[in-house]
Amino acid sequence: MVILSALFAITLAMLIIWRSSDGFEVASGYLGRNLTDGVRGATINAVGSSIPELFTTLFSLMLLGEVDNFAFGIGTTAGSAIFNGMIIPAVVIIAVIGYGIAHKVKVSKKVILRDGIGLIIAELILIYMVSGNHLTWMHGLGLMFTYVVYVAYMFSTMKTKEEVASTTIEEVKEYPVGRKPTIVKSLLLLDFEHVFIRKQINTLNAWMLLLFSMLVIGLACIVLIHSCELLSGEMGIAPYFIAVVLASAATSVPDTILSYRDAVAGNYDDAVANALGSNIFDICFALGFPLFAFTLFNGPISMTPETVANVAELQASLVLLTVTAFLIYYFNAGLRKVHAYLLLGLYVVFIGFIFAKAYSFEWAIRLGEVLASWIPTAA
């Protein structure tokens, strides 16, 4: 009964995050209307849709107050990065081909190189910054600085205002201004767009919509954290493993929805850039800021040897799967269903390994030791 209650609470939190992500899409779409597709996907969309990972890591440290709960945050963000790199592209490919929009999904090589290589570099920096058993605010600051450099580069490659002027006009016209449901009904349905945008969207109500959606998602993340801990206790495994599988999937819902809708609309570059850009935000800022804030006020974090080993295995898995996905994206003229099934298969194998490791299967323990040996400071 406790397990069912925990699963229900996790599902409820996921649904709230999912509904709130609609507000993210509308607000970020308007606020980022002067950005090119790839830049908007990798910055505004990616940041907005990755707020759950940031809140999950922050609350697991600040509210629960146990330093080893940082492992819960790492599990969520790294697990989410793997989910984004495997599941989201697979969903995009299957949706586009399944709806008959195109026979294959073509993504700009420039976007793949820019965000793919940027993600791999961010993961290598993560390995350097978050390894061993002693973490300080300097490690968090280093991760945040990496994201600042990435965003600066993205804006430096953005087109001029004249080049995107026509796109701006089109996007503003697309927002509906017709009859709206009542505010009470909209709140009950978590339809925040129609709560804040009653007549016409503008900068003020777009920011209000974005911030309120973030608040609701933050509250849902608190429920998610406690539910995952309750579930892990009943299942007899560490919360870290539940975070890698369930919390990561729940917090990745906004990324999935944004990329899905971009892909169905034909914005394939934005769909992929959002998924990869979200990963860079997760790794650098969603981990970096909580680590910086917590250790600045509470002192260094000292993780147990078991936690260090789990983190090292996850880091190695993350890099391995990211490189594999990058090769699939880059060396194919167009992504087809076979590529989607390959990505799904890789994710299923990863989840199988995580659960096998949680229950101490011998083969999983040996594989984990091999993966951890790839991380110098954990070897």
* CATH number for the domain that contains residue 151: 1.20.1420.30
Cβ contact 259:274 at 8 Å: yes
**pTM across the whole model:** 0.84
Q: Report which residue type is found at 280.
A: I
Helix segments in 174-304, DSSP class H: 183-188, 193-196, 203-235, 239-242, 248-251, 253-264, 268-281, 288-298
Structure tokens at 232: 């892990």
DSSP code per residue over 322-348: HHHHHHHHHT-SSB-HHHHHHHHHHHH
Q: Which domain holds residue 74?
A: 2-378
Eight-state DSSP code of residue 65: -
pLDDT value for 29: 74
Look at residue 54 and give its three-state secondary structure.
helix
User: Bridge-partner residues for 134, per DSSP?
Assistant: 302
pLDDT value for 333: 76
pLDDT value for 158: 61
Q: Total domain count for the chain?
A: 1
Structure tokens at 278: 């979200």
pLDDT value for 8: 93
% residues pLDDT > 90 (the chain): 27
Rg (CA), the chain: 20
Structure tokens at 159: 């087109």
How many residues does the structure list for the chain?
379
pLDDT value for 179: 59
Structure tokens at 246: 């369930």
Tell me how far apart the alpha carbons of residues 355 and 242 are, in angstroms, rounded to a whole number: 9
The segments of the chain whose pLDDT lies below 50 read: 161-162, 164-177, 378-379
For residue 354, the surrounding DSSP H or E stretch is helix 337-358
